[in-house]
Amino acid sequence: MPTPRPSPEIDALIRAAAAKHSVPYELLYAQVKQESAFNPIAVSHCGARGLLQIMPATGTKDLGLKEADFFDPEKNLNAGALYLRRQYLGCKRFITALPKNAINECTEDDYWQLALAAYNGGMGYIFKAINILFYDKHPICWENLAPHLSDPREVVRGHDPDEKQMIDYVERIWADYIKSGAMNHAPTGPTA
């Protein structure tokens, strides 16, 4: 099966959204490839829509999208990049706000991997896993956090995370990101 590639127009929109929201272009590119194979009218089995497979509730409530916006490549990419950036900042703020005895070993790469996992499965599960690492006195980083997503203490609002899906999601995107040669050049941009 050939590797999916975006049209020049979609690629330009990915670049613009990445720059606007301080997300590494190569990471956003890999995420769009994973989410929709660059298909702007993709719809998942659970109802996620567009290039970055935004769920309807998240898109309308959190990102201000209207029904038609989910399939507008520019609006979908900007909303998804903004959402990913928010996950990145949320993880970074949460970890840096932990008490001083926390063992924070997160690199910028770790924060982006945590952001991808939060984008896919929900920030609540990531925060819960971070707290488990903290209370169990384990260093906080993606490599240590991923296995803790299956911890029985990981229940959030009565639901267990789909840890395999979250981990596979991050690993597939990260593998494409590494192949791009762009690792360790992630912009940090504004803090809000």
H helices of 42-162, in order, are 56-57, 73-96, 108-121, 123-135, 142-148
- Which of these is catalytic: 9, 26, 35, 108? 35
Answer whether 17's CB lies under 8 Å from 77's CB.
Answer: yes
DSSP β-bridge partners for residue 96: none
- What value, to the nearest 5°, has the Cα angle with vertex 29 and ends 139 and 162? 50
- What value, to the nearest 5°, has the Cα angle with vertex 83 and ends 129 and 93? 45
Answer whether 119's CB lies under 8 Å from 83's CB.
Answer: yes
| Cβ-Cβ contacts under 8 Å for 157 (sequence gap 6 or more) | 124
Q: Is 35 a catalytic residue?
A: yes
Q: Kindly state the tokens that stand for 135.
A: 């209370």
Rounded Cα–Cα distance for residues 142 and 115 (Å): 10
User: How many Cβ atoms from other residues are within 10 Å of residue 74's Cβ?
Assistant: 16
- Active-site positions read 35
